[in-house]
Amino acid sequence: MPGTVGFIGLGAMGGPMAQNLVKHGFSLVVHDVDPAKTERWRARGATVVGSAAEVAARVERTISMVETTAQAEAVIAGEQGIVHTARSGHVVVSMSTIDPIAARRLADRLASHGIAMLDAPVSGGTERAASGGLSIIVGGAPETVAACQDLFRAMGANVFHMGGWGQGLAMKLINNMLIHVNTVAVAEALVLGVKAGLDPQAIYDVVRVSTGNSYAFEMRVPRMLKRDFAPGGTVDISFKDQELETAFAKQLGVPVLLANVTQQ
């Protein structure tokens, strides 16, 4: 039976993910630095508290969906962090896209207190967050992953266990690198085709059934043809993710020339 879960970070992704937990019968204890967000959740019946530490003190499993590595570190190990109040056996599910090496350090810190951690970043954007169609890419102990399947199935359509701590994030950064590079390639190819006198719709029709097709092409070009340039996210988040990709590659000594050009 669904129980009570902690949820920290109720933004563009976290809010819809939390809502899907509620739809599946979970009760929530929530925290966000933005009082307007938490008040909306109070009106929906969630228990609102003032810190990550207070969340962890009230539940056995806590989900964190914040934006940056620094924010994740503060939520987990800061002065008002989870580590100070979570009891032995607690599970922290960090669903943010952050530095995999920093995530491993956080997992080690929690493990020293008897607290389990999963890195479980998501892919799919705000639309799939709302529909419950996210891909959830997990790193951590198999038994912990198994114990959190009910949470993952409430928020996502696909769950992949990649290995130990940090491996979920490593896979997420690889996926992000591909979509970022492909998106730039799609834009350049479409401009080149138009400059050559080709009809944009014809470009789409040909590429969609040919070897140049990609998820980025099928997702982006129809919106370009409709002149629909409404943002699906923020430039800050996209650039943050690209910085993570190139920094991670540098840490591992892997040249990623296309990713570097895309970031520029």
Please list the active-site residues: 172
For residues 99-120, one letter each, b for 16 or more C-beta atoms within 10 angstroms of the residue's C-beta and e for the rest, the string is bbbbbbebbebbeeeebbbbbb
β strands within 74-226, DSSP E = 91-94, 116-119, 122-123, 134-139, 156-163
Question: What is the CB-side half-sphere exposure of residue 32 using CA atoms within 13 A?
Answer: 25
Tokens of 5: 């879960």
> Where is 237: in which H helix or E strand?
helix 235-251
Where does residue 236 rank: exposed (0-12), middle (13-18), buried (19+ CB within 10 A)? exposed
Residue 91 identity (one-letter amino acid): V
